[in-house]
Structure 1
């Protein structure tokens, strides 16, 4: 018999669960970090440390307002502060959503403060504030190779199915990217692939120096590859289950960056905290 087609499966009577059956959904992220003002604990002994600490906070507030409109990254040094003044600044800054480490010489650690766009950066035994959408090292050192990229023509095995096409797309997008271009995103979660595909992609792209964690809503782990402007971006729910696995071709994924509006808010909030300290 020619042209006979079986009816599609998954539709009609019996295809859906009974009312008595419990439908289980994957847990989604829960709990979102929100801004809470932080006032340092200041006693009479530390009164002399207040003016220099306020001077640093004031410079940070001015930089936030300026960078919100002009862009860029500004540095506010902390080396000149006495220990008591640094405690005031540290207590005011607190810890925000995003933290990062960059391997290499010297290793670098960055922690966003509770004021979005104000980062506490530790490098080579020194500590400073950097104000901007992200610390400068995120752009300058992120793609320094820890494991070199094997390239688009890396050898494959029979178990590698879709990886060569994905790798070719990523190398092409990276080579054509210009400053200001929108991110080119490859959503691995929606693409069929084997475990060997993922291994092949990782080897082809290599490993960069930057590892970034954003804890805004669930967890997002961002890893630089050794291919310039290419990042692994993976979202996890509150059970630490991977719910979105993607690769972005961009200077820095938006989930990591402080927006202009964030910097404007941080300038206002820093001034409010300074008024309270006075």
Structure 2
């Protein structure tokens, strides 16, 4: 596995929505800070690297220009790494580092897309499968493969079957989820159902899990605390859970809407990342 990636692989770690407190978090980990990434660069010979890695330095310059002008609602911008040498790929990994958000997207052909935010928010590394040729840098609020999978690989409607014996509140909750999911359109505010405050029996929870199913996307943010975002099997319905330092759930919700904002880069992130990237290029390669 190339430098900079550390993800769970495919069927070895099946995705699951609405886990119990005892379940571990498979995707993501705390990566180095921007200061750590810069300290590593400072130990290298920038002039020598610029001479030996011209394609990498040119790509970083293009990424800096792209992120400086990016907006959260705009189409993402891709920069492929197929023409880079191993040394240039390593340089890219050292500059970008690993940020707070990581994730996986399960694809129809059985492969897995691995996603890693850099230490500069809004700049992502994406690799599809194990082939380094299918690796690229993407600038945007979230890699486009996440949005596509959320639409293409999930059901458009929620089927509500008869509740099992012992159910308490699950049928009204499922009806609310279905109504909101069908009505949601891009630009609308997300609707949040907070299970931390809603009485749900074990039967309710099991039937809810069975009804919404598991989706193809798992994202984990490890900024201030840990947040796990998982697509369900229904379009526009996401499980969003916050964990404490012991990996126990402290806030458990379903969010009806687009990709949850906790996983998205904002406009101010792009401006800041553009400035920092340009400073890195000028300080270490010019």
Alignment counterpart, residue 101 of structure 1, candidates 91, 100, 104: 104
Q: CA offsets per residue over residues 35-69 of structure 1, 9 Å max, x none? A: 43623353476453343221111111111122137
CA distance in 1 between partners of 2:226 and 2:32 (Å): 11
Alignment counterpart, residue 54 of structure 2, candidates 36, 51, 54: 51
Structure 2 unaligned regions, length at least 5 = 1-29
Q: Classify the secondary structure of the residue corresponding to 2:209.
A: helix
Structure 1 unaligned regions, length at least 5 = 1-30
CA distance in 2 between partners of 1:69 and 1:143 (Å): 19
Match of 1:80 in 2: 83
CA distance in 2 between partners of 1:219 and 1:230 (Å): 20
| TM-fit CA distance, 1:240 | 1.1
Contact 1:143–1:209 under 8 Å retained in 2: no
Contact 1:143–1:224 under 8 Å retained in 2: no
RMSD of Structure 2 on Structure 1 (CA):
2.3
Contact 1:149–1:203 under 8 Å retained in 2: no
| Equivalent residues in 2 for 1:180-199, closer than 5 Å | 180-199=187-206
Alignment counterpart, residue 120 of structure 2, candidates 115, 120, 130: 115
Find the structure with the greater CA-based Rg: 1
- Normalising by structure 2, what TM-score? 0.80
Q: CA offsets per residue over residues 163-218 of structure 1, 9 Å max, x none? A: 11111101100101111000100001111111111111111111110011010111
| Equivalent residues in 2 for 1:155-174, closer than 5 Å | 155-174=162-181
Match of 2:136 in 1: 128
Q: CA offsets per residue over residues 222-267 of structure 1, 9 Å max, x none? A: 1101111100001001121110000001110011000010011100
Structure 1 residues 107 and 70, CA gap change in structure 2 (3 angstroms) = closer
CA distance in 2 between partners of 1:171 and 1:69 (Å): 28
Structure 1 residues 46 and 35, CA gap change in structure 2 (3 angstroms) = closer
Structure 1 residues 276 and 37, CA gap change in structure 2 (3 angstroms) = farther
